[in-house]
């Protein structure tokens, strides 16, 4: 039957695809971020320094970033249903084998394969979008994107599993079983339509040509902050709470989830805000909110003495864990809104080439999430200052604000 004569998808089919895809993506993101918790007992077991921990935590992010573009192309050609199901099944064995790894290089190699789960965003986004009308696509993609909350899910589930079993090795086994079951349920609860296939999708070379456009570089930088920074901090915060405040892994992961949860579930809200106020204003205010919060978070715990007319007097400056968590919560909300506003930029400026540009920008965001945890570890090993991770993040936000100022001076003067 020709595509033009095909009947439109039913609302029930579309909603089933949306729900099943969102659940599957949430699990994939939880697996992708599992070293945020799992890396802590592994670090202790292997005697790793902070740079080695950062590399281990970031290794799955590298693979998840690099496979985004080819997975998006395959989704166009073969359909989201088979690609998504096969992607989840491909992750089951390396996740399971993680529980039997004993050396650092074992974990690094397996983490590369586990990282395939992070490419699920590039599969699910076009798959879900094609089941909805243009008027409902934004909301549908926002709901699907809320699967980023899998980062918080792993912070609730993994510590509970470790505490219950008394060993971290239970976590990969449980995740592997759940991933296999989810892949089967996803296949049973979703559908495929021939008219959703794209015979002429952009090749990797064609997508890389887009880097000649300075706007693409700009959006890559923004997304490396709001998504790459979100991923990096989500991986880093559990061990930060343990080292900075002496909390146990369960409480540390719970407080770290106060950043991860809003950073995931509020992405749909970010889409609505961007539609209402525009991509420029939304992203501009997101960067300023992050700038203020990260400046405060960057200040290390400080003890100093000054000479007064009544003799020496000592002072302490620093954030207690509750003030720290509140600021981190605000940053999580800002990054959620910023992730949506950057894609609003892309939809506005590249309406005829959204898929290709999204693939490149998503790749840049993933690479940011890979590099930043490693830089966090290097900075901590060199300085011994835990808040150095926020100093690095503060620097990336400064670059974004300066770039936005010079790129949108005319727009800013018109809206002033």
Cα(44)–Cα(104) distance, integer angstroms? 12
- Output b/e per residue, 177-206; b: 16+ Cβ within 10 A: ebbbebbeebbeebeebeebbbeebbeeee
Q: CA torsion sign, 128 to 142 to 34 to 221?
A: positive
The percent of residues in the chain predicted with pLDDT above 70, rounded, is: 90
pLDDT higher at 234 or 265: 234
Mutual angle of helices 120-129 and 11-32, in 10-degree steps: 170
User: Domains in the chain: how many in total?
Assistant: 1
For the ranges 119-128, 188-197, 226-235, which has the lowest average pLDDT? 188-197
Split at pLDDT 50, 70, 90, the class of 5 is: very low
Helices (H), 130-247: 134-145, 150-165, 170-189, 204-209, 214-226, 228-245
pLDDT higher at 413 or 247: 247
User: 411 in helix, strand or coil?
Assistant: helix
Split at pLDDT 50, 70, 90, the class of 202 is: low
Split at pLDDT 50, 70, 90, the class of 214 is: confident
Residue 316: what are its φ and ψ, rounded to 5°?
Answer: -125, 130
Residue 141 in this model has a pLDDT that exceeds 90: no
Residue 79: what are its φ and ψ, rounded to 5°?
Answer: 100, 150
Cβ of 2: how many Cβ atoms within 10 Å? 7
The secondary structure of 136-156 as a DSSP string is HHHHHHHHHHGGGGHHHHHHH
Split at pLDDT 50, 70, 90, the class of 2 is: very low
Cα(60)–Cα(107) distance, integer angstroms? 10
Each residue's pLDDT tens digit, 324-367: 999 999 999 999 888 888 877 877 777 666 666 777 888 888 88
Structure-token pair, residue 231: 């991923």
Helices (H), 33-169: 35-46, 50-66, 68-78, 80-97, 104-114, 120-129, 134-145, 150-165
What is residue 351's predicted lDDT score, i.e. its pLDDT?
61
Each residue's pLDDT tens digit, 40-49: 999 999 999 9
Each residue's pLDDT tens digit, 28-42: 999 999 999 999 999
pLDDT higher at 391 or 280: 391
Cα–chain-centroid distance for residue 270?
15
DSSP 8-state secondary structure symbol assigned to residue 384: -
Q: Are 66 and 194 in contact (CB under 8 A)?
A: no
Residue 204 in this model has a pLDDT that exceeds 70: no
| CATH code of the domain in which 98 resides | 1.20.1250.20
For residue 90, count CB atoms less than 10 angstroms from its CB and return exposed for 0-12, middle for 13-18, buried for 19 or more. middle
- Strand-pair partners of 304: 315
Residue 142 in this model has a pLDDT that exceeds 80: no
Structural domain range at position 262: 3-415
For residue 243, count CB atoms less than 10 angstroms from its CB and return exposed for 0-12, middle for 13-18, buried for 19 or more. middle
pTM for the full predicted model:
0.83
User: Which is nearest to 344 in space by CA: 161, 78, 145?
Assistant: 145
Split at pLDDT 50, 70, 90, the class of 191 is: confident
For residue 69, count CB atoms less than 10 angstroms from its CB and return exposed for 0-12, middle for 13-18, buried for 19 or more. buried
Average pLDDT (94-108) is 94
Cα(271)–Cα(415) distance, integer angstroms? 21
Average pLDDT (299-305) is 85
Residues 6+ apart with CB under 8 A from 4: none
What is residue 387's predicted lDDT score, i.e. its pLDDT?
92
What is residue 198's predicted lDDT score, i.e. its pLDDT?
67
What is residue 371's predicted lDDT score, i.e. its pLDDT?
93
Element (H or E) spanning 22, and its range? helix 11-32
pLDDT higher at 138 or 70: 70
For the ranges 70-79, 82-91, 330-339, which has the lowest average pLDDT? 70-79
pLDDT higher at 10 or 405: 405
Residue 412 in this model has a pLDDT that exceeds 80: no
The percent of residues in the chain predicted with pLDDT above 90, rounded, is: 48
DSSP 8-state secondary structure symbol assigned to residue 386: T
Q: Are 218 and 211 in contact (CB under 8 A)?
A: no
pLDDT higher at 357 or 127: 127
Residue 280 in this model has a pLDDT that exceeds 90: no
């Amino acid at each position: 039957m020709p595509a033009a004569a095909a009947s439109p998808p039913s609302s029930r089919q579309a909603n089933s695809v949306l729900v099943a895809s969102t659940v599957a993506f949430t699990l994939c993101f939880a697996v992708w971020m599992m070293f945020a918790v799992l890396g802590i007992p592994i670090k202790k077991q292997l005697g790793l320094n902070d740079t080695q921990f950062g590399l281990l935590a970031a290794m799955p992010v590298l693979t998840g970033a690099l496979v985004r573009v080819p997975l998006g192309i395959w989704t166009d050609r073969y359909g989201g249903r088979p690609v998504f199901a096969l992607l989840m099944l491909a992750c089951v064995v390396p996740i399971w084998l993680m529980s039997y790894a004993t050396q650092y290089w074992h974990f690094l190699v397996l983490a590369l394969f586990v990282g395939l789960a992070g490419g699920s965003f590039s599969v699910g986004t076009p798959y879900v979008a094609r089941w909805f009308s243009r008027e409902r696509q934004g909301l549908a993609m926002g709901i699907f994107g809320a699967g980023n909350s899998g980062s918080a899910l792993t912070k609730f589930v993994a510590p509970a599993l470790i505490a219950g079993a008394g060993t971290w090795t239970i976590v990969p086994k449980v995740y592997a079983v759940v991933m296999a079951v989810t892949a089967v349920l996803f296949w049973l609860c979703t559908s495929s339509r021939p008219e959703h296939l794209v015979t002429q999708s952009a090749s990797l070379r064609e997508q890389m040509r887009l880097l000649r456009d300075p706007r693409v570089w700009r959006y890559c930088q923004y997304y490396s902050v709001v998504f790459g920074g979100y991923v990096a901090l989500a991986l880093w915060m559990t061990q930060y709470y343990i080292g900075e405040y002496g909390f146990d892994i369960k409480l540390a992961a719970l407080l770290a989830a106060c950043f991860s949860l809003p950073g995931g579930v509020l992405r749909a809200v970010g889409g609505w805000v961007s539609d209402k106020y525009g991509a420029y204003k939304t992203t501009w205010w997101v960067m300023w909110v992050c700038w203020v919060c990260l400046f405060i978070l960057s200040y290390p715990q400080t003890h100093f003495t000054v000479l007064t007319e009544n003799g020496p007097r000592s002072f302490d400056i620093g954030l207690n864990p509750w003030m720290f968590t509140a600021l981190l919560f605000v940053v999580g909300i800002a990054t959620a809104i910023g992730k949506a506003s950057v894609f609003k930029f892309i939809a506005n400026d590249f309406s005829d080439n959204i898929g290709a540009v999204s693939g490149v920008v998503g790749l840049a965001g993933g690479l940011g999430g890979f590099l930043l945890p490693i830089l966090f570890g290097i900075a901590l090993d060199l300085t011994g200052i835990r808040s150095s991770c926020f100093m690095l993040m503060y620097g990336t936000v400064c670059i974004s604000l300066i770039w936005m100022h010079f790129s949108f001076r005319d727009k800013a003067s018109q809206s002033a």
